[in-house]
Amino acid sequence: MIDESIKLGLHVKIGEYVIIEKNVVIGDNVVIGHHAVIKEGTIIGNHVIISDHSVLGQFPVSNKKMARKPPSQLSPLVIGNSARIGSQCVIFRGTTIHDGVLVGDAAAIRENVTVGKNSIIGRNVMVENNTFIGEHVTVQTSSYVTAFMIIEDDVFIGPCLSSSNDKYMSAGNGELIGPILKRGSKIGNNVSLLPGVTIGENAVVGAGAVVTKNVKPNEVVIGNPARPMRQ
């Protein structure tokens, strides 16, 4: 089970029925839960906890219908120091999880994503490919972060966000433009973001709002479609 190409740090605790593939690097004081699968080449820092049944370093797949094939080459998944990865997570190759990040149970993070220091990716959150998430960001349970989204530092996203990036619902030329959430903005629960909208710095989007246009810095919007709240 432990191939000689694997670099194992000191005081690593490995659960039962764990699979560690070739060329994996594991730092000191790491805990790996039962039934975890650490795929080829994954790099794990010090003091990381990975809970049961998680799959780290997965390679994307595709079928005939997919317009955009996944990249054939991806850098290894990197998990920073003191990160915590929940149970039953799937995290892909090509992604970097920075120090101190918490990834909740059953969350999935696809290829070429960056998650900045100390951010929280909640339980059952789905993060699609090529998304940038800054530092000290919170993404609460069951939120959906679409591909090519930019989430700056200190953003708060409540539960059940729904975001999108394809204005033509796969009938256009295939250009994808993810929403941009500027620093310190706050998104209530069950908000819908349309492709390419920008939420300004420290703006607030109320629960259940459907955001079809850009929101100015410090503005508070509510409703379907979202409009500035009368003060």
Least separation, in Å, of the C-beta of 10 and a second copy?
Answer: 22
Size of the site for a second copy (CB under 8 A): 74
Give the interface segment with a second copy, choosing from 2-10, 22-30, 53-61, 73-81 (CB under 8 A).
53-61
Least separation, in Å, of the C-beta of 105 and a second copy?
Answer: 5
93/123 with CB nearer a second copy = 123
Token pair of 104, please? 């909740």
Least separation, in Å, of the C-beta of 216 and a second copy?
Answer: 18
Give the interface segment with a second copy, choosing from 4-12, 73-81, 119-127, 213-221 (CB under 8 A).
119-127
How many angstroms separate the first and last alpha carbons of the chain?
63
Show the binding pattern over residues 196-215: x = contacts a second copy (CB under 8 A), - = does not. Answer: --------x--xx-x-x---
Among 24, 144, 219, 221, binds a second copy (CB under 8 A): 144
6 binds a second copy (CB under 8 A): no
Show the binding pattern over residues 19-38: x = contacts a second copy (CB under 8 A), - = does not. Answer: x-------------xxx-x-
63/73 with CB nearer a second copy = 63
Contacts of 142 by beta carbon, 8 Å cutoff, 6+ apart: 122, 123, 124, 125, 159, 160
Contact status, residue 117 vs residue 100, Cβ threshold 8 Å: yes
Strands, E assignment, 77-153: 78-79, 84-85, 90-92, 96-97, 102-103, 108-109, 114-115, 120-121, 126-127, 132-133, 138-139, 144-145, 150-151
Among 25, 150, 177, 194, binds a second copy (CB under 8 A): 194
Show the binding pattern over residues 148-187: x = contacts a second copy (CB under 8 A), - = does not. Answer: --------x-xxx-xxx-x--xxx--------------xx
Least separation, in Å, of the C-beta of 173 and a second copy?
Answer: 15
Among 81, 112, 130, 138, binds a second copy (CB under 8 A): 138
Sheet holding 84-85, edge to edge: 13-14, 31-32, 49-50, 84-85, 102-103, 120-121, 138-139, 156-157, 186-187, 204-205, 220-222, 227-228
Angle, alpha carbons 143-58-128 (nearest 5°): 30
Contact status, residue 137 vs residue 161, Cβ threshold 8 Å: no
Q: Find the binding residues for a second copy in span 55-84 (CB under 8 A).
A: 55, 58, 61-66, 82-84
26/91 with CB nearer a second copy = 91
Contact status, residue 112 vs residue 76, Cβ threshold 8 Å: no
Token pair of 187, please? 């998104």
